[in-house]
Amino acid sequence: MTIAVLVLVLVFVGLAYVRLAPSDLARWHVAQEISKDSQGDNSVRRLVDAGPEGLARFVETARRDPRTEVLAGSVEDGLITFVTRTRMVGYPDYTTAQMQGDALAIYGRSRFGRKDFGVNAQRVDDWIAALTAG
């Protein structure tokens, strides 16, 4: 019985940490020079020909996504980072966007785990599709 309670407490503490841990801006809100599209086990990089207003349109698109909020930055800063949390547990994923000339550079990645099963790539690609459709 004591071990079961201890396990439940540890699970609760772990879930609370995932939900409440502060985001280190020096780590997550950082400009990335992206030269081509790529995808890793828990990250995605995209370079999109978006024109001079690409970042502003991208921000409008990202803000419509549920459980997504601005972590830091703005269009005026030329660099913005969003945090999107999973529905059940609240795992945070970070997406940073900036203009590189007329191209929009987007970097999405997970905070926890070594594999995101393509979730970041799917989200970023959905945002890009909405951006280019409108």
The 10s digit of each residue's pLDDT in 53-110 is 999 999 999 999 999 999 999 999 999 999 999 888 889 999 999 999 999 999 999 9
CATH number at residue 84: 3.30.310
Establish if 99 belongs to a structural domain.
yes
Quote the number of domains for the chain: 1
What average pLDDT does the segment 27-52 reach? 95
- pTM of the full predicted structure? 0.90
At 32 the pLDDT is 92
Q: Is 50 part of any domain?
A: yes
Question: Number of H helices and number of E strands within the chain?
Answer: 4, 6
d(CA 58, CA 68): 13
Residue 134 pLDDT > 70: no
Query: What range does the domain containing 83 cover?
Result: 25-133
In a domain, 93, yes or no: yes
Q: Is 12 inside any structural domain?
A: no
7 pLDDT band, cuts 50/70/90, is confident
